[in-house]
A and B are shown apart, each in its own frame.
Chain A
Amino acid sequence: MADPVQTTKPDLYKVTRIIKDGAIVADDWQFVPLASELAPEAHPIPAGRVIVPLPVWQSQRHVLAARGDVGVWLAPADDPQQLADSFGQIALIAVDFPKFTDGRGYSIASLLRSKLHWKGELRAIGDVLHDQLYYMQRVGFNAYALRSDRSAEVGLAALKDFEDIYQFSTDQALPVARRHFGANTAATRGSAT
């Protein structure tokens, strides 16, 4: 068996094409990292479409809110609740997966959709690989900044890994068991969001 090659990781946050709403599209949103040596209010924000860290958004909201081309990204430990009153002012929400094995982003996405009712773009960023896309889609992501060294086509296919599911999630797909429950189904689904 061939020894698997460990490629050096590309910059996780420099991605020029993403998967969004089931299609591969070019992307020019710039990621603004959280620099530990800078106070949030001191972060310089470039012109153009930017995705800024939550603390930066909170400290510079008064200026950024008017731009219309600002998205906010959440780190795994961030509380999505803190963004709830900003929904009208931000263009997208990104959830960072610094390492693909850190699963907190799935719960953040789930809360953004089912608790806070964010209806806009929800994007997975960071260590975004093929084999997690299906789950990401199910918890409510609709955009994926797939790592630049991964095939976008394989990523598209991975979104269709399963056609049957066992549990309700924010994607509103109908679980296996519910297909049997008949009349209850429609009623229960009505209260899904």
Chain B
Amino acid sequence: MYQYDEFDRRVVRSRAAQYRRQVARWQAGELADDEFRPLRLQNGLYIQRHAPMLRIAIPYGHLSSVQLRKLAYITRHYDRGVGHFTTRQNLQLNWVKIEETPDILDHLADVDMHAIQTSGNCVRNITTDAYAGVAPDEIVDPRPFCELVRQWSTLHPEFAYLPRKFKIAVSGATEDRALLRFHDVALELHRDANGEPLVRFIVGGGMGRTPILGETVRDDVPWRDMHTYLEAILRVYNRFGRRDNMYKARIKILVKSLGVAAFREQVEEEFSRIANGPNRLPEDALSWIQSRFVTPQYETLTNNPAVLSDALASNIPFARWHKRNVRGHKAVGYAAVTLSTKRAGFAPGDVTDAQMDAVADLADQYSLGELRITHDQNIVLAHVKQSDLPALHSALHALGFATPSIGLVSDMIACPGGDFCDLANARSIPIAAAVAERLEDLDEQEDIGPLRLNISGCMNSCGQHHAGHIGILGVDKQGQEWYQLSVGGSGGTQSSIGAVLGPSLRADQVPDAVEQIIEVYLEARASNERFLDTVRRIGAEPFKNKLYPNKGKSAADNKVAQNG
């Protein structure tokens, strides 16, 4: 993990102190609500349905056990004891008091954390592959690049009042596990013939009410030009992005309206001017930033130790968990373990303070004190000895984090939705619970195979429904909660946006509809064909026909109401 030094600490402390002064001025009436708003948002504070919500930054999803214990402490003392891990690898607390937020930021600063730019029209927290640094298919370790981008974007003076929020993802593996093509800008790292890192800039992706896949603006930006290229992109966007309509203000709309070629031309023109300027990274920047990371000291081990193969042979629940929740690792004898937050009685991503403490202990005991938050709202212990897996499994089982369902249909993503979020059209959590209950049989889930089901409570798409193999979107119809279903969305190298199946459904119809979608797949699939591949092969039509058999007839004939 990256280690803060005195400079990093001073920035975070100064920011917390500045925020404390701003809150005091707002309380004293010296700062009007609409003047305070962007300031608090850029420190992660929303005013929500029931109480203010604080979004704490977890830069590129990486946490130390010490930091997680502090989050547990804050969750216990300043919230109601439950934190929510988000799809952008942050932590949200739904019950904070505004007047206590300056104290929370001080607590965070004690462990080199903050809430800087977790909201507002600025460059947000950087996200990356949860298996960065350990994934066997990695070409370039994205973490040092994430940190360079984090530093560059933190308190960037020119880009704090952009037309709209700006999300950056970084990845350096063959497989894209960071939803690159759904970000405002994505940096995809690869190498030139001499092994020097190059950056592919993918621009203009996004979800929301206009889902668009990002397009490559340039393939081969040398890593030292990473900041200047970003600066050129952001400057073009800051100057020419629309500000008259917040629904058309994201960079994707600018790229689309100009066309990617014209957008590229503008960026290249600006880039060529500043390319050799002061923001070009010095030759030693990468080795310097790498030296600021603590590299895990792996022991010399062998793969498949006896204790592991014995457990796999004799312990069926363990073997099942191992198949789904344990991944390969760069280092021989090690594994990366995913802790599932998807379990009965909890919303996806919800973790109590006591569970945070317990997971922090497990990280210390089994994973060199380091954790990652994934974009699908789970937790990863990235450096586990294979010989420790049986013991870790028992510990996780006792904690309720051992559901062997990673990548299966019950490993769903859901945003906080109408239970917490002011912007929601409908609730997400009860839908997630109802679908999970319907499909709770793990043998069935195993039979269905890999299936990503994502639920958003409104078009803002925090639940990433556009990227779900099955997507569920909450819509509002005359004050009632309705849900629109789609199939075929996906992140990854072959990203795609889900196709809407038809008129929206009532909440109580959703579990049936999900089951019907799965039935169509099970009937149509070729052997070993994943859900997504079947959808890609047969298209959305068979799913539409199943869900809306009376299509073309009057609305009344259909078992589902037409969404006008």
Contacts and interface: CB of A to CB of B under 8 A. Distances in A.
Q: Are A and B part of the same complex?
A: yes
A7 B432 CA distance: 45
Contacts of B15: 162
Contacts of A102: 161, 243
Contacts of A36: none
Contact of B161 (A103, A138, A179, A188): A103
Contacts of B282: 178, 181, 184-185, 188
B22 A131 contact: yes
Interface stretch (A64-72, A118-126, A163-171): A163-171
B280 A4 contact: no
B14 A163 contact: yes
B151 A167 contact: yes
Interface string A95-132: 00000111110111011001100000000000001111
Nearest to A171: B157
Contacts of B235: 107, 110-111
Nearest to B239: A107
Interface string B198-229: 00000000000000000000000000000100
A179 B8 CA distance: 12
B27 interface: yes
How large, as a class, is the contact surface on chain B? 35 or more
Interface string B109-144: 000000000000100000000000000000000000
B278 A162 contact: no
Given A4-B36, A167-B227, A107 B18 contact: no
Given A4-B32, A162-B155, A192-B278, A135 B160 contact: yes
A176 interface: yes
A100 B35 contact: yes
Contact of A4 (B8, B26, B159, B274): B26
B5 to A, nearest CB: 8
Contact of B279 (A132, A167, A180, A185): A167
Contacts of B151: 166-167, 175-177
B162 interface: yes
Given A101-B121, A101-B161, A106-B161, A163 B32 contact: no
Interface stretch (B69-77, B283-291, B365-373): B283-291
Contact of A166 (B27, B152, B243, B276): B152
Contact of A180 (B27, B98, B280, B288): B288
A12 B404 CA distance: 61
A38 interface: no
Contact of A184 (B18, B279, B283): B283
Contacts of A134: 157
B561 interface: no
Contact of B11 (A5, A139, A162): A162
B14 A167 contact: no
A169 B234 CA distance: 14
Nearest to A115: B273
Contact of A2 (B29, B38, B162, B227): B29
Contacts of A5: 29, 32
Contacts of A4: 26-27, 29, 31-33, 36
Interface string B225-247: 00100000001001100010000
B278 A189 contact: yes
Nearest to B291: A180
A96 B283 CA distance: 39
Interface of A: 1-7, 100-104, 106-108, 110-111, 114-115, 129-132, 134-139, 154, 161-169, 175-181, 184-185, 188-189, 191-192
Interface of B: 7-8, 10-11, 14-15, 18, 22, 25-29, 31-36, 38-39, 98-99, 121, 151-152, 154-163, 227, 235, 238-239, 243, 273-274, 276-280, 282-285, 288-289
25 contacts: A2-B27, A4-B36, A6-B32, A101-B161, A103-B121, A104-B238, A104-B239, A106-B157, A114-B277, A132-B160, A132-B161, A134-B157, A162-B14, A164-B11, A165-B11, A166-B152, A166-B156, A167-B152, A167-B157, A175-B151, A176-B7, A177-B288, A181-B288, A184-B282, A188-B282
Which 9 A-B pairs give the minimum distances between C-beta atoms? A103-B161, A138-B157, A184-B282, A135-B157, A168-B278, A176-B7, A5-B29, A192-B278, A166-B151
